[in-house]
Structure 1
Amino acid sequence: MGKAIEITDANFEQMIAGDKPVLVDFWADWCAPCKMIGPIVEELAGDYEGKAIIGKLDVQENSQVPMKFGIRNIPTLLIFKNGQLVDKQVGVVPKNVLAQKLNNAIVAEKV
């Protein structure tokens, strides 16, 4: 079963550089909505194993990447492909919304 990968300031560029879509969940331990979306992100990691990379970036531990992308509210979920930001979601949403965004990124990759 897939599990969300820990993404940090140090490994961020390397993580998003591949050709698979990468969903990054910007979160913090003290954020109640982040705890609501956390299990959904973990489920997506299992559902999309081999098709996409699902990761979590703790904004308490890592400040450079959130600053670079102007993350002010968490949870914020960004989707990257080939190192480029292709989609964004701020706040808690149902799993199907995030799945659709990932599906869009996966399909776009094949064009």
Structure 2
Amino acid sequence: MRTIPIPVDVTKLQFVCVRAPRPRILNQDTGEIKTDKNGQTVYEIVMSVEDELGRIELVKVSTSGEPQVAAGQDVTPVNLVGYAWEISRGGDTRWGISYRAASIVPAGMNALA
């Protein structure tokens, strides 16, 4: 499967941080933490997302560098993209969409911050 970023229009969505940012763990046994190509720690933030029709989903979004946001805070993911993924193990195939943002800032804050 080819990895193609899918831009997400966040203008009609409301995001709330539901769990404080945590470094993304690559290996539970060794505690190895994921870093990006520049050596920055990759953080995961769990957010609730509500659309204009009132539908709510939980999503986990990755970003490089520690976002200055807290649980319960309205936030805005900057340059949010989704990536479709698929993995086969033991004859079972799983798939989904992972999300990544250039940054995650408090709602209403300048996106360039």
- The structure that is helix-richer by fraction is 1
Relative contact order higher in (CA < 8 Å, ≥ 6 apart):
1
Global fold match (TM > 0.5):
no
Q: Structure 1 length as normaliser, TM-score?
A: 0.28
Q: Structure 2 length as normaliser, TM-score?
A: 0.28
For the pair shown, the structure with the greater C-alpha radius of gyration is 2
